[in-house]
Amino acid sequence: MTTSAAPLDLLLLPTWLVPVEPAGVVLKEHGLGIRDGCIAFIGPRAAALKLEAKEVRELPGMLLSPGLINAHGHAAMSLFRGLADDLPLMTWLEKHIWPAEAKWVDEAFVRDGTNLAIAEQLKGGITCFCDMYFYPKVASDCVHNSGMRAQIAMPILDFPIPGASSADEALRQAIELFGDLKHHPRIKIAFGPHAPYTVSDANLEKIRVVAEELDATIHMHVHETAFEVQQAVEQTGERPLARLGRLGLLGPRFQAVHMTQISEDDLALLVESNTSVIHCPESNLKLASGFCPVERLWQAGVNVAIGTDGAASNNDLDLLGETRTAAMLAKAVAGSATALDAHRALRMATLNGARAMGLESQIGSLEVGKAADMVAFDLSGLAQQPIYDPVSQLIYATGRDCVKHLWVAGKPLLDDRQLTRMDEQQLTATAIAWGQRISGHSE
């Protein structure tokens, strides 16, 4: 399974290796070899030990899986974590978040907030995230410097936003950034029309034309609440998803975030167009937005990925915890204990996220030839014993504090719980200083 005699850069020897593809497989006492940032070998431990490697790492009691993929969030909003809790979505947005953004969001805010989010995500086993926030060029710089992987969506709304005075200007900036970064190995630029109620048909048409030309993805909040759908039907006689379908936006490059309201017609449209759904269970629970019927979507063949949403409405960027919530909630919503089992939940948090971004040939599973984006979870602790199925223990009995090591493109970004490229103390101090300024308690 190894293609040449050149030595491996790194050979990992975990107790369990969960490739995600093929589905449901757990490989015990296997090794994984990395060369030039890609997976070059997967095979039994005995065969692995015969290979020449510059570095060999034993990972006893650890489960090696693909890195987690956080398929929706607003990274810089980490600096608004806990600012306006226990409120419904529109009150939260209109009375608290939008005014705070108007007052505080600038390039420095986005830089510091994005770095905070990147560090939190790396420590939680996330190797790739989808971001949708203002000043995307600043966020891209943060991702570039961190060594992480990301899809960065430029938010586009009908009214001015921080960093762009109009929808046309936001679209121009997105096209320019797409061009600048189209050959970047770890960053993908997407278009982010905010939501059906903030973007007109004319602007959606422009976005569709450009995205088609560039073969770019579109990332959008859709059917987040029953109120959003009801209001659209009252005003136009059309459900928002049907409108997006009519305008030609839906398709394999479209990421529909939230989707808590799904009629039979909506489901047919999702299936027919091969649109991906991004499920954000904890944000939806906290804002009482509704429940995405994950099992129904899954059984119909819709690709469902998972996201944390921003830390201002979650309040953490803990994708492992999010996946556990998703699995539990899927069972309650479907009325079936067999809905979204642990192995499928892990697939939702890895390969399905990659598929939503069009990156499934590069990341999302541990397969020879793919990028070495991986995370090692330590299952040796008291709370994980005894282990019958390590994937069940990971999803149902393990917290993100068990993330021990993490690699992106074969490079270690977390080593024995320590960030290798970022200064945790500095990030914490910066976040505290922002909190004092925003709350009016700074000196």
Q: What is the pLDDT of residues 148-163, one digit of tens each?
A: 999 999 999 999 999 9
At the second CATH level, the architecture of 10-66+372-409 is Roll (2.30)
The pLDDT of 358-374, averaged and rounded, is: 98
Fold classification of 68-356 (topology level):
TIM Barrel (3.20.20)
Residue 14 has pLDDT above 60, yes or no: yes
| Tokens encoding 70 | 């956080």
Percentage of the chain surpassing pLDDT 90?
Answer: 95
The pLDDT of 357-371, averaged and rounded, is: 98
The pLDDT of 195-206, averaged and rounded, is: 97
The pLDDT of 123-149, averaged and rounded, is: 98
The pLDDT of 98-121, averaged and rounded, is: 97
Residue 208 has pLDDT above 90, yes or no: yes
Domains 10-66+372-409 and 68-356 share a fold: no
**Quick one: pLDDT band at residue 443, thresholds 50, 70, 90?**
very low
What is the domain partition of the chain in residue ranges? 10-66+372-409, 68-356
What's the pLDDT at 441? Answer: 65
The pLDDT of 181-187, averaged and rounded, is: 98
Residue 4 has pLDDT above 80, yes or no: no
Residue 5 has pLDDT above 90, yes or no: no
The pLDDT of 319-332, averaged and rounded, is: 96
What's the pLDDT at 242? Answer: 98
Residue 438 has pLDDT above 60, yes or no: yes
| Tokens encoding 383 | 């709370």
